[in-house]
Structures are given as C-alpha cells and as structure tokens.
Amino acid sequence: MTMPSEPLAPVDDVDAEIAFIEEAAGNEDPPTPIKGVRRLLWWIIPANMGVFIIWGAFLGILLPAQVAGLDSANKIANFAIISTVGAVFALFGQPIAGQISDRTRSRFGRRAPWIMIGSVVGALSLVGLAFADSFVGVLIAATIVQTAYNFAQGPLSAVMPDRVPIKRRGTFSALSGIGLMVGALGGQIVGSVFLGSIAAGYLFLAVFSVLMLTLFVIFNPDYSSKEVPREPFRFADFLRTFWVNPVKHPDFFWAFTGRTLLYAGYFTVTGYQFYILTDYIGIENPATVIPVLGLLTLAGILISTIVSGPLSDKVGRRKPFIFGSSVLVGVAMLAPMISPTLPAWMVMTFVAGLGFGMFQAVDTALMSQVLPSAKSFAKDLGVVNIAATLPQALAPAIAGAIVLGFGFVGLFPLGIALSVLGAFAVWPIKASR
C-alpha cells in the first residue's frame, strides 16, 4: 500500500507538535494543522461518511436481511449472536487501535497509517461477506468487518484533539456529526436499495469507504511523528488501555457514563428497526419505507446539528445541549410505544433525530476536553468510544431477550429510561459547562 506524499512542515511547527504530544492535555490547543483548520473542518464530513455508511447499511439493513435469508425462523437469535460477537471485538478494537496509533512513528504521523489499514482490511472483509452463505461464514466475516473499521475509526476520532483548537471544536463536532449521521442514515437508504442484491451492496460499501478515507488522508496530511520520543512498551500499560481512573479523572468517567446511557437507550430501539417494521408495525416490504424514514431522521439530525454545534461554541456551554438531546430521544420513543403504527414511528425517527443530532454535535467536543494527555488521545478516545460500541454489543442480546419475553413494545420503556439517565450523568462534569 502506497501512502500519499506529505509536504515538509517548518521545523518550528514540528517542534511544537512534539512538545504538544509530550506535554498537553485535551483542554489545550494543538499546533495549527499543515493545511489549516478550515480544510480539516470540511473533510471530516466525507471521512466520517466513509466509516458510518458501513454501520448504517451493513449493520442496520444488509446484515439483518442476510441473516433472515439464511434462517428466517431463527433470525432474531442469529442476528443477536452475530452482532453481539462483532460488537465485542469492536469494543476492544478501538482502544487497542488507539494505543497502537498513539505509539506509531512515521513520516505520515500517528493516525494515517491505521486509517488506511483499517479501511482496506474492512473492505476486503466486506467482499468476503458478500460471498458468505452459512451462519459461521457470516459470523466470521461480519466480525472482521466491525473490527477493521473500528481500527480506522479510532485513529480518525483522534483528529479533533490532535489538530482542532478548542474554540472550533463545537463546529468541528457538528460537521463531524453531519458526516456521521449522513453516513449512517444514507447507509440505511443505500442498504434498502441493495436489498435485492446484498452482495452488490457490500461491494459498493467497500469501494466507497476506501475512497473517502484515502482522500481524507491525502488532502489532510499530518505532521511527522518520527522524532517524537517513544516510551518503552510495558505489558501492564497495555492492560490499562481499557481503564481510566475515575477518581483521578472524574470528568472522563461522567462523560463516558453519559454517552453509554444515551447510546444504549437509542440503539436498544433503533437497532431493531428492521424487525420492528416487519413484526411490530406490520410492514410487509420495509424497503419501501426505510428511505423515507432515513430522510426524516436525517432532516432532524441536520437541523439540530447545524444549530447546536456552532451555538455551543458561541455560548461556551456543552452540558445543556447534551441534557436536551437525551430528553428529546427519550420523549420520542413514547410515540411508537403508545401507537404501533407507521406514522408514530415516523414521528419518533424525526424527533429522535433532533435529539441525537444535538448530542453528536456537542458530545464529541465535550469528550475532547476531558482527555488526560496528548500522548494517549487515540487510546483514551478508544476507551470513550467503548461508550458507543458497548451498548451496540449488549443491546442485541438484551433487546432480543426483551422482545422474546415481552414483545417489541417492551423495548421502548427501557430506551426512555436509559436516555433520560444519560442526561443527568453529564452534570457533574467540571471541565466544560
């Protein structure tokens, strides 16, 4: 694999980058990026689309459809097993990828090599998944897909504390959230288009993802990390990858807890949309409505994201936006719980989109401000992102048990309770208002 060439940075900038990595924390401004902040702000949109289109199309539509095609009678249990195993591997993948990324020394910086490696391995795994025709084959390929793309996503998420000044992080987070949600929801639309040819859908996703992430790396070069001192590897430090002391870093703990609860509440319900539509609401052909639902969610997310991120920068506050987002997501779930109809589900997707967009626009900026050290930004963000992947790891099993025991209507009270609890978890944070 050939990495793109990188312009040589002035010596003073390289020295500043080394000093930042060695001494700074997440609440300090990094050196100005080689190509400037403005370019980075806009390129994060297609970069995030390149990752999150996978989660929207692969996890949300194509994989459950593929699993149902293998064994319709046992689709709920089989999908819970496959998605849970894959999410558990992804759970460990991001912190490990972050640790490796933090320690990487190359002329392309610490992040670019792993963004590229993760995207290429993920693409090859999607090609393998396209030709898998057994439960075991789908399980193995789907697990590699989730692990590989988390190896790309972890280093990509470290770009903000690495390169973006604090006063621009709300805007960067908003644009990042736009790319994330356009990718995830656009992925649902793409997935529904390829329901008639799942293999072709996987091939499309593989090509699109590699293209977007490659372009991001080419047009946003990072400083060389070759001269940054490398600390000796200690196995005990590796084991501590998955631990940040909540006593020493209470803000980190509360930010992690809030994100975990909100994601758990959201994905407990939306992660089962395909089956909710078919088995709870009674839609015979979900491909006819999923694009509309995706657009409704996208509209809600774009409205709240565009407003919330820059506004949080302007007022200098993050927590009120996160509180409001959690409440919106919880309230939205009342509609389908009360009325198991398509109009009620459409209301939920739009209102929950408003809430989740507000959350994505502000939470990432807040998270960047509670990171302990620039030496371990990617590792710590990998731990933070466990708060996103852990709910996805546990939600299929928990939600599957709830559906089997109480029916789909049992998902909504749990989703509401978790979302509202997520709102209250952010109030003890002191590093951000």
Question: For the residues of 236-258, what is the DSSP string, one character each?
Answer: HHHHGGG---TTT-HHHHHHHHH
Please report whether residue 195 resides in a domain.
yes
Residue 227: other Cβ atoms inside 10 A: 11
Please report whether residue 316 resides in a domain.
yes
- Cα 259 from chain centroid? 11
Contact 422, 325 (CB under 8 A): no
Please report whether residue 131 resides in a domain.
yes
Residue 231: other Cβ atoms inside 10 A: 10
How far is residue 348's CA from residue 328's CA, in Å, rounded to a whole number?
A: 10
Q: Can you give the CATH number for the domain in which 41 is found?
A: 1.20.1250.20
Please report whether residue 421 resides in a domain.
yes
The parent domain of residue 41 ranges over: 25-225+236-425
CA distances from 149 to 51, 114, 116, 206 (A): 7, 10, 10, 11
Paired tokens of 341: 């109809």
Contact 203, 130 (CB under 8 A): yes
Please report whether residue 30 resides in a domain.
yes
pLDDT tens for the chain, 433 residues: list them.
Answer: 444 443 444 445 666 766 676 666 566 678 777 777 888 888 999 999 999 899 889 987 899 899 988 888 888 788 888 877 887 787 777 788 888 888 888 888 888 999 999 999 999 999 999 998 899 999 999 999 989 998 898 889 888 888 888 778 778 877 887 888 788 878 888 888 898 899 999 999 999 999 999 999 999 998 888 877 777 767 666 666 666 667 777 877 887 888 888 888 887 888 778 888 988 998 888 878 888 888 888 888 888 888 887 788 777 777 788 888 888 888 899 999 999 899 999 999 999 989 888 887 777 777 777 776 666 666 777 777 777 667 766 676 777 788 888 888 888 998 888 888 887 887 777 766 6
CA distances from 237 to 12, 99, 241, 270, 371 (A): 31, 10, 7, 36, 17
404 phi-psi bin (left φ>0, alpha ψ -120 to 50, beta other): alpha
What is the tally of structural domains in the chain?
1
Please report whether residue 11 resides in a domain.
no
How far is residue 49's CA from residue 54's CA, in Å, rounded to a whole number?
A: 8
Please report whether residue 7 resides in a domain.
no
Please report whether residue 8 resides in a domain.
no
pTM of the model: 0.71
